[in-house]
Homo-oligomer: A and B are copies of this chain.
Amino acid sequence: MMDSKRYQAGLARLNELDPNAAQHLKETFQAICPELADLIISFPFGEVLSREGLDFQTRELATISALTAMGNCQPQLASHIKGALHIGCQPQQIVEVILQTAVYAGFPAAINGMTIAKRVFQESGIIDTDSDD
């Protein structure tokens, strides 16, 4: 699988978001399901997120919208906010996407998403770390 064109396309796509993610995925699930990392790289990243027809920044903003609305994918939401910043999405775009999920999925989803974004923005040095948490 790792020699395939789609695996290589997926690896390149994932590396754009986070150059450490592929290695981290492999190590995390090596003992329990060694194929999981390869499946994630080759299908979502290699066959879906690397498609043409929609630029990668808009893809990531749409992903942040879906994960915030679903409300039960905190680790993935944090990763995609970090990745979106990495490929050049503006912090304000991310804030706006999260804020508008209040309309579609309710204020708790938006507030919990904003709390995750705040932490990622602090870790990325975009906003100051404060002491009120």
Binding site for B on A (CB under 8 A): 24, 27-29, 31-33, 36, 39-40, 43-44, 47-49, 51, 53-54, 58-59, 61-73, 75-76, 90, 92-93, 95-97, 99-112, 114-115, 117-118, 121, 127-128, 130, 132-133
Tell me the dominant secondary structure on chain A's binding face. helix
17 additional A-B residue pairs with CB within 8 Å, beyond A33-B95, A54-B92, A65-B65 = A33-B114, A39-B48, A39-B99, A43-B103, A53-B95, A54-B100, A58-B61, A62-B97, A66-B66, A66-B68, A66-B101, A69-B106, A73-B104, A73-B106, A73-B109, A103-B107, A104-B107
Measured in the bound complex, the distance between the Cα atoms of B73 and A89 in whole Å is 27
